[in-house]
Amino acid sequence: MDSKRQHKFSRQILKDLSQVFQRDPHHFFGTSLVTITDVEVAVDLSLAKIYFSVMPNHNADTVLQKLNERKNEIRGKLGNLIGKRIRKIPELAFFHDNTEEKASHIDKLIDSLDIPPAEENSEEA
Domain boundaries, the chain: 4-103
| CA 59 – CA 88 distance, rounded (Å) | 32
The closest of 29, 52, 40 to 90, measured between CA atoms, is: 40
> Is the Cβ–Cβ distance between 24 and 17 less than 8 Å?
no
Beta strands in the chain (DSSP E): 33-41, 47-55, 91-96
pLDDT 10s per residue in the chain (125 long)? 568 888 999 999 999 999 999 888 888 888 888 889 999 999 998 999 999 988 887 888 988 999 999 999 999 999 998 877 777 889 999 999 877 767 777 878 888 877 888 877 655 55
pTM over 0.85? The answer is no
User: Looking at the domain that runs over 4-103, which CATH code has it been given?
Assistant: 3.30.300.20
Work out the end-to-end distance of the chain between its first and last CA atoms, rounded to an integer number of angstroms: 58
